[in-house]
């Protein structure tokens, strides 16, 4: 049973560029959430997708957008990259709240460096 998989594992982009990160959730999970973890901090919630819709959003600008596909996989897009966007981006999969246990399982993350 594959867990949560993310690609790529590392990425270097230039300021102003756009980036797309990908996530496949754990088998049986239908909800994908994205988190940003800056160095020395805990993960910060970006947004959550369920049934191909953004259900919740954290305090992130519109430059951060996402998508969920019918097979529950998800993409995180960041436009007009800033140096401050350099971080570890984590994808978490779970069941939608109220459908069972609420533990979220994380992928290994994508380390994004903006230069």
Partner 1 sequence: DQQVKQNSPSLSVQEGRISILNCDYTNSMFDYFLWYKKYPAEGPTFLISISSIKDKNEDGRFTVFLNKSAKHLSLHIVPSQPGDSAVYFCAASRPSSNTGKLIFGQGTTLQVKP
Any contact of residue 92 with partner 1 (CB under 8 A)? yes
Helical segments of the chain, H only: none
Using the contact rule CB under 8 A, the part of the chain among 14-22, 63-71, 73-81, 92-100 near partner 1 is 92-100
Q: Which candidate, 32, 26, 36, places its Cα nearest to that of 52?
A: 32
Any contact of residue 48 with partner 1 (CB under 8 A)? yes
Residue 65 in tokens? 């957008």
Least distance in angstroms from the C-beta of 38 to partner 1: 10
Q: What is the DSSP letter of 16?
A: T
Q: What is the DSSP letter of 113?
A: E
Q: How far apart are CA 60 and CA 47, in angstroms?
A: 9
What stretches of 30-95 adopt beta strand conformation (E)?
A: 31-37, 44-50, 53-57, 64-68, 74-78, 87-94
Any contact of residue 18 with partner 1 (CB under 8 A)? no
Using the contact rule CB under 8 A, the part of the chain among 11-19, 43-51, 60-68, 72-80 near partner 1 is 43-51
The size of the interface with partner 1 (CB under 8 A), counted in residues, is 28
Any contact of residue 96 with partner 1 (CB under 8 A)? yes
State the residues that interact with partner 1 by CB under 8 A.
4, 6, 31, 33, 35, 40-45, 48, 56, 58, 90, 92, 94, 96-98, 102-109
């Amino acid at each position: 049973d594959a867990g949560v998989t993310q690609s790529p594992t590392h990425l270097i982009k230039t300021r102003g560029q756009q980036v797309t990160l990908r996530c496949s959730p754990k088998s049986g999970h239908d909800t994908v959430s994205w988190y940003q973890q800056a160095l020395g901090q805990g993960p910060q919630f970006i947004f959550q997708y369920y049934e191909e819709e953004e259900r919740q959003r954290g305090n992130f600008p519109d430059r951060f957008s996402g998508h969920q596909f019918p097979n529950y996989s998800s993409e995180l897009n960041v436009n007009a990259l800033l140096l401050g966007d350099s971080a570890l981006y984590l994808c978490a999969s779970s069941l939608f709240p109220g459908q069972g246990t609420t533990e979220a399982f994380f992928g290994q993350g994508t380390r994004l460096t903006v230069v």
